[in-house]
Structure 1
């Protein structure tokens, strides 16, 4: 959107008002999970509740939660968490293959406000993302014994949160393009108290997440929220700011495989920061000891979204790396 001089003046006036009001209005980020929050005793009941909640919210076909079940309980169980504005379609092309090979019960969760509409997408703050993620993780032992977390972008940020908070309960973590820092430095405005008001004064309340690239495949728009509100991005920025810290990284002990799109300095992830990903991984486990199987793998043929059939990437390479990683994790287990 073109920025006019009138918008600039309005933004400056808004900033002045915000500076005066911040001392009275600033609410530091905090999150306390309700200790009395109740979940069903069995996973099937929980799953049906999530499906019904999606139907009531008007979730589009193909964006619902999904359960892939091979048995009542399996040795391995997978939780996939999708990215911001995305859906389970952001990972199924890869995760389905791994789930089948492991015969692992797998749950594709849906973040609040996703797969529905623009207003709903902006109506849920970072605490609701955390509640939904905690719920899914708490239910996962009903599906299997060894929990494998797989996340894409924002979903990988959330798996990072889980692996840090519950280090003894995560068997392995696989991430694609984790959001530890935005590639665009201007998004730092969302971290400034009242910054959202300046953004809206400059650009208006709405943004488009549309992109035109030959790597995008037909059907993409059916599984991503294209029309968005800047308020939704503010919620995402709050989530990132709440989770990202040296303390979060230092507590992670699970073996971790991190994929990132990088071909050269010109052709690399332009949504999230590659250096921030690599720096974060180097901090994993520093409070005890980094897992020796931790590894970052560059994917030369890809995009920010690496595991979706709706975005071209070298999925055979990704699958091969995951198989090698999981084989190594299994071999590193103590003999029974």
Structure 2
């Protein structure tokens, strides 16, 4: 009886290939499971603003004197009338960006407050204004608490609050605007809001093993070269890499916000050449804003070599006045 022979060579060569593919699939599955089960910072949003005493200047002096701050980085109130401090119709609150300080866009906020005859509060986010080691100390919840404190002080300074934010400070401002306890917010003025980094590798910092991956890519510290001595004094130019996952944790938190619910009038300025953040996400998220009063203003050449800091004597001095004019015009058209 004739029996057809199987093609042994082809069959035998197929089995090792299938075996390798099987092991590869198992290995990749295990790697994925280990990655997804890795340590990941959880963001605690159950924060509240601290109770403020009557004397705000004394409160700020006591709380800020605990830290080894660089000059001119501490939290500060600028009264519209220093000789007779009192509540003004509006107050301006400034939330600075990651690794920066209240010097970031100075004197923009001072000039805006002067035009509005408003009191001004310039905050300091936890870990900032100190040495680079301190940047590893705060968690996202500490920055959320700083934002709530800044707004609470703003409410004490003015009957309506205008929040100005740059970079991650702008990200914080959007989170703040959607909080139930925030009832007297007149407008948001946001510069280069950080919705997503331009370097997509930074996104890994917000995921599982974020600290470990960041340390592997960046090292123990991240450092950038300042443009001027003033830039070096106003920013933390070398800091622990653990600060990056914290910053990205805030970005990830705001990424989940339903901006369609935001009804606060919002002015956003950004550079179309920004080297730090993803401008396509700025444009996309701007379109999602639920408010009827919103403006998106592009600047091609703000002055900052990174096209990110849009105003201020340190990095973009020639853009301060034009930006102030745009913001003033926007605010003047808002309903009372």
TM-score, with length taken from structure 1: 0.83
Aligned pairs, number: 297
The residue correspondences of 1:313-332 to structure 2 (distance < 5 A) are 313-329=318-334, 332=335
Q: CA deviation at 1:18?
A: 9.9
Say if 1:181 and 1:200 are closer, same or farther in 2 by CA, change over 3 A: same
Query: Which residue of structure 1 lines up, in the alignment, with residue 309 of structure 2?
Result: 305
Q: Tell me which of 139, 144, 148 is aligned to 1:130.
A: 144
Q: CA deviation at 1:178?
A: 0.5
CA distance in 2, matches of 1:26, 1:258: 31
Query: Which residue of structure 2 lines up, in the alignment, with residue 121 of structure 1?
Result: 135
TM-score, with length taken from structure 2: 0.83
The residue correspondences of 1:172-321 to structure 2 (distance < 5 A) are 172-211=187-226, 216-247=227-258, 249-262=259-272, 268-285=273-290, 290-291=291-292, 293-302=293-302, 303-312=307-316, 313-321=318-326
Query: Which residue of structure 2 lines up, in the alignment, with residue 40 of structure 1?
Result: 52
Query: Which residue of structure 2 lines up, in the alignment, with residue 31 of structure 1?
Result: 45
CA distance in 2, matches of 1:18, 1:119: 32
CA distance in 2, matches of 1:310, 1:217: 8
Deviation track 1:182-206 (CA, whole Å, cap 9, x = no partner) reads: 1111111112201321231343211
CA distance in 1, matches of 2:62, 2:76: 12
Q: CA deviation at 1:155?
A: 0.6
Q: What SS class does the counterpart of residue 242 from structure 1 fall into?
A: helix
Q: Any runs of at least 4 consecutive aligned residues in structure 1 with deviations exceeding 6 A, and if so which?
A: none
RMSD: 2.1
CA distance in 2, matches of 1:244, 1:169: 24
Contact 1:209 1:228 (8 Å CA) reproduced: no
Deviation track 1:261-317 (CA, whole Å, cap 9, x = no partner) reads: 12xxxxx001011111111111111xxxx32x3010011221201122110252221
Question: Which is greater in Rg?
Answer: 2
* Structure 2, unaligned runs of 5 or more: 1-29
* Structure 1, unaligned runs of 5 or more: 1-15, 263-267
Task: Answer 1 or 2: higher relative contact order, Cα 8 Å, separation at least 6.
Answer: 1
